[in-house]
Amino acid sequence: MEWRYCIKTNNKNDKYQRILEAAINIFAKQGFYQSTISQVATEAGVADGTIYLYFKSKDDILIQFFSDKTKQVFERFREEVDKANSAVDKLGNLIRIHLEEFQRDRNMAMVYQVETHQNYRIAENQIKEMSKMYLDIVSEIVEQGQAEGSVRRDLYVGLVKRFIIGSVDEVINTWLHSGGEYDLVSMAEPLVDLFIRGVGRVEERNNITPAGESSYSRAAEIN
C-alpha cells in the first residue's frame, strides 16, 4: 500500500510541475489575462478538468508560480550570496545569479517581470514575500559594505537598495524586450562596477555636498 501511494504522489507532483511549466509558457507568450485554462491544458497535454485537480483557478496558478517556482529561484540567491565573504563579492554573486537564473528560464523571467507589476493584487502576499527576501539580502550587503568601508556611509540604505534593485530590474526588462538576443549575464560585472564606483569622476564626486535634512533626504531614508 505504501509503495502504491508513493507512486501516486510522485505522478501527482510530476503532473503539477508539468501544468505549472505549461502555464508559465502560455502566460509568457500571451499574457496572463489573455490566456485560458484550455490553452494551458493543451500545452501540458492534459484534459481541462485535470487542471482543477491541482489548481483552483487560473489565478491560483499564478499564485503557485510565485509560491513555488520563483521562491526556489530566490532561495538560490541567498545560497550564492552566502558563499562570499566581502560585501562587494556578495553583491557580485547576487547580481550574477539573478541574471543567470532569469536568462536560463526566459519564460519565467517574462512572467515574473510583467506580473509583479500588473497582477499585484492576485498574488499580493507571495509578491511581498519575494520582494522582502530580495530587499533583506540587498540591505544586509549594503550595511556590511558600509561597515567594511566599501560602500559610502553617508548614503541612505533605502536609497541604495532601490538604486540596485531598480537597475537590475531595468537591465532584465531591456533584455526581455530585445528578445534575449545578447548575453544577459555579461551585464553583471558592469552593474557591480556601476554600483560601487558610480558614473562620476572622483574630482566631481568630491565636490558634491552631502544632502541636508530636506524633504527629499527624509523620503530617501524610508526603507
Q: Which of 137, 70, 130, 67 is nearest to 105 (CA)?
A: 70
pTM of the predicted structure, to 2 decimals? 0.81
pLDDT digit string, tens, across residues 149-193: 999 888 888 899 999 999 999 999 999 999 988 999 999 999 999
Evaluate if residue 14 carries a pLDDT over 50: yes
Shared domain for 185 and 205, answered yes or no, is: yes
Per-residue model confidence (pLDDT) at position 173: 95
Looking at 39, 55, 71, which one is the last position of a domain?
Answer: 55
Indicate the Cα dihedral angle 4, 10, 14, 15, nearest 10°: 40
For residue 39, the domain's CATH number is: 1.10.10.60
Shared domain for 178 and 204, answered yes or no, is: yes
pLDDT digit string, tens, across residues 93-124: 999 999 999 999 999 999 999 988 776 678 88
Shared domain for 129 and 216, answered yes or no, is: yes
DSSP state letter for 31? -
Shared domain for 139 and 191, answered yes or no, is: yes
Which residue carries 498574488 as its cell? 123
Residues 56, 26: contact at Cβ < 8 Å? Answer: no
- Domain housing 22: 1-55
Other C-beta atoms closer than 10 Å to the C-beta of 58 total 19
Query: How many domains does one find in the chain?
Result: 2
- Per the prediction, the chain carries an average pLDDT of 85
